[in-house]
C-alpha cells in the first residue's frame, strides 16, 4: 500500500511551505534518508530527507505553496504499485522494495537563504543531481541561471557562489543596455515577489506597527571604556578563540538590564503580559543579496544570555550570524526570542552618526538598536574632550511599558555599556 507524504511542519510558526525543488525525479527509487526535496518557509530553506524507502510519485510540482500536512507525494512499495498509483508503466530495471513504513521526517538545513523565484531541479547529464552548494542554488534561482550550464570550481567540481556570480557577470556583459523608451514609459529593472521571506517581512512589519503602541527612546552611550575593554580581549584573542565584538557587550548589557527591569523582557500573550525568566536575545542578521532590492533579514536567537560570559556570547553570535547568512540554521533557532538586538553598526557602509526607529519584533516588548561608534567632542568631567560615542535607540510597546520602566531599562543598559567592568564581574 502506498504511503502518503505530506508537507512537513519544520518550525512552530510554519503554516505553509514552498516546494522549491524536488531532489528526486518522478518514479525514482528512493532510499530512506536520501535527499528528497527542498522546502522554503518564511525564514529558511531546508533539505528534507525521505522518511521511507520506495518509488516516489510527485503530486505537487516545484514552485507550489502548500499548507503543512497536505499530501504532496506518495511512496510506492514496489515498481508495480508505483505504476498503479501514477498511471504509468513500471520503471524499467527495478525490483520490488520492502513495504514502506512511516517515520518522522528528517531534515537538514541548507544554504539556500530564502530564494523567492523557485526553479526546476538541476540535474546532471546522467540524470543525477548536480553538485552545488545551497547558497549557489539560491543565487542561481534568484538570478534565473541554469545550474546545468555551469562548471563548478569548488571541491570535487561543486558549483559554488563565485561560479554563479561569474556566470551572471558574463550574462550582463553580453547584454546590451536597452534604449530609453520613446513613449516615456518606465522600464523595469527587476521585480521581487512579495512571498517567502520578503512577504513575511512585509506582513510582520505592517502587523507590528498596526497592532502595538510603539514609541522610541533615543540616547547616547560613552563607549570609550567599552572599546578599551574590548582591546584587552582582542590582545588575547588567540587564548579566547574569538575577537570579542561590540555586539557581545551589548547583548550582555541587555541581559543585565532585563534582569534589573524584568518588564522589559516580556510579551503580550493571550491578553496578558507575560514576564520571562530567560533572556533570549534575537539578533537581526542581514542576508546576502545582489543589492538592497533583493536582500533579506532573519533573527536567530541567542538563548540564556543572562547566564553566559562575553566570550561565549561572542562565539555564539558569530556562529549564528555565519550560519544564518549561509542558510544553515536549523528549525527552532529563530524561535523563542524574548527581546531583540538590531545591530545597525554591523551593516557597514558609510560611517555616520545617527539614530533610527527599529520596529518591534512582536510579541516582544522591546528592541534595542545601537548605532555606529564614532569620536565626538563632548563635555566629560567638566571639560570638552573627544570621546567614543554610540547612539542608542530603544523602541518599546507602550501597552506593556510606561516611560518610567523604559527609562530605568535604558539607564541600566547605558551604565553597563559605559562601565564594562560591571559585565565582567
CA–CA separation, 359 and 198 (whole Å): 16
> Worst-scoring range by mean pLDDT, 32-46, 89-103, 107-121, 218-232?
107-121
| Contacts of residue 346, Cβ cutoff 8 Å, sequence gap at least 6 | 247
Apex CA 404: angle with CA 260 and CA 272, to 5°?
Answer: 75
Q: Which residue ranges does the chain devote to CATH 2.40.50.100?
A: 1-121
Instruction: Tell me: pLDDT of 11 over 80.
Output: no
Cell 496578558 found at:
272
pLDDT score for 102: 34
Task: Choose, from 57, 217, 380, 398, the residue flagged as catalytic.
Answer: 398
Q: Which CATH number fits domain 1-121: 2.40.50.100, 3.40.50.300, 3.40.190.10, 3.50.50.60?
A: 2.40.50.100
pLDDT in tens, 227-266: 999 999 999 999 999 999 999 999 999 999 999 999 999 9
Which CATH superfamily is 214-424 part of?
Chloramphenicol acetyltransferase-like domain (3.30.559.10)
- Tell me the mean pLDDT in the region 204-230: 94
Pinpoint the residues of the chain covered by CATH 4.10.320.10: 123-173
**Which pLDDT band holds residue 93 (cuts at 50, 70, 90)?**
very low
Query: Which CATH code of 3.40.50.300, 4.10.320.10, 3.90.1300.10, 3.90.180.10 fits the domain covering 123-173?
Result: 4.10.320.10
pLDDT band at 208 (very low <50, low <70, confident <90, very high): very high
pLDDT at position 171 is 74
Per residue in 261-298, pLDDT (tens digit) is 999 999 999 989 999 999 999 999 988 765 556 678 88
pLDDT at 110: 38
Q: What is the pLDDT of residues 144-186, one digit of tens each?
A: 888 888 888 877 787 877 888 888 877 766 655 556 556 678 8
Alpha carbon 210 to its chain's center = 24
* Distances, alpha carbon 71 to alpha carbons 66, 75, 198, in Å: 9, 11, 26
Cell of 179: 534604449
CA distance 132 to 163: 10
* DSSP class per residue in 50-74: -SS-EEEEE-S-TT-EEETT-EEEE
Contacts of 297 (CB under 8 A, 6+ apart): 197, 201, 284, 285, 286, 287
Residue 398 among the catalytic residues: yes
Amino acid at each position: 500500500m502506498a504511503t502518503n507524504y505530506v508537507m512537513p511542519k519544520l518550525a512552530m510558526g510554519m503554516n505553509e511551505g514552498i516546494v522549491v525543488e524536488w531532489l528526486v525525479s518522478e518514479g525514482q527509487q528512493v532510499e530512506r534518508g536520501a535527499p528528497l526535496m527542498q522546502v522554503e518557509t518564511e525564514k529558511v530553506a531546508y533539505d528534507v530527507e525521505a522518511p521511507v524507502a520506495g518509488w516516489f510519485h510527485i503530486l505537487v510540482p516545484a514552485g507550489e505553496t502548500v499548507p503543512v500536512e497536505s499530501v504532496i507525494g506518495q511512496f510506492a512499495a514496489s515498481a508495480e504499485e508505483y505504476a498503479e498509483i501514477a498511471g504509468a508503466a513500471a520503471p524499467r530495471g527495478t525490483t520490488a522494495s520492502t513495504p514502506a513504513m512511516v517515520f518522522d521526517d528528517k531534515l537538514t538545513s541548507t544554504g539556500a537563504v530564502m530564494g523567492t523565484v523557485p526553479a526546476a531541479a538541476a540535474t546532471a547529464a546522467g540524470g543525477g543531481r548536480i553538485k552545488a552548494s545551497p547558497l549557489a542554488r539560491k543565487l542561481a534561482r534568484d538570478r534565473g541561471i541554469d545550474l546545468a550550464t555551469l562548471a563548478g570550481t569548488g571541491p570535487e567540481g561543486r558549483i559554488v557562489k563565485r561560479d554563479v556570480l561569474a556566470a551572471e557577470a558574463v550574462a550582463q556583459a553580453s547584454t546590451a543596455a536597452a534604449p530609453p523608451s520613446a513613449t516615456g514609459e518606465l522600464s523595469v529593472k527587476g521585480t521581487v515577489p512579495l512571498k517567502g521571506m520578503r512577504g513575511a517581512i512585509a506582513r510582520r512589519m505592517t502587523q507590528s506597527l498596526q497592532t502595538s503602541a510603539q514609541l522610541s527612546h533615543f540616547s547616547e552611550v560613552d563607549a570609550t571604556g567599552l572599546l578599551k575593554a574590548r582591546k584587552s580581549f582582542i590582545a588575547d584573542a588567540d587564548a579566547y578563540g574569538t575577537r570579542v565584538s561590540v555586539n557581545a557587550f551589548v547583548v550582555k548589557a541587555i541581559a543585565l538590564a532585563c534582569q534589573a527591569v524584568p518588564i522589559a523582557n516580556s510579551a503580550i500573550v493571550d491578553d496578558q503580559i507575560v514576564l520571562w525568566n530567560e533572556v533570549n536575545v534575537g539578533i537581526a542578521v542581514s542576508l546576502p543579496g545582489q543589492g538592497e532590492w533583493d536582500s533579506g533579514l532573519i533573527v536567530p536567537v541567542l538563548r540564556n544570555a543572562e547566564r553566559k560570559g562575553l566570550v561565549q556570547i561572542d562565539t555564539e553570535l558569530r556562529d549564528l550570524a555565519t550560519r544564518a547568512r549561509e542558510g544553515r540554521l536549523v528549525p527552532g533557532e529563530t524561535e523563542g526570542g524574548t527581546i531583540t538586538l538590531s545591530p545597525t553598526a554591523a551593516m557597514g557602509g558609510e560611517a555616520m552618526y545617527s539614530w533610527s526607529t527599529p520596529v518591534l519584533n512582536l510579541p516582544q516588548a522591546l528592541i534595542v538598536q545601537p548605532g555606529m561608534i564614532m569620536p565626538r567632542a563632548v563635555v566629560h568631567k567638566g571639560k570638552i574632550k573627544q570621546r567614543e560615542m554610540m547612539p542608542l535607540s530603544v523602541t518599546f510597546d507602550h501597552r506593556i511599558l510606561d516611560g518610567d520602566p523604559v527609562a530605568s531599562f535604558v539607564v541600566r543598559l547605558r551604565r553597563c555599556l559605559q562601565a564594562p567592568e560591571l559585565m565582567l564581574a
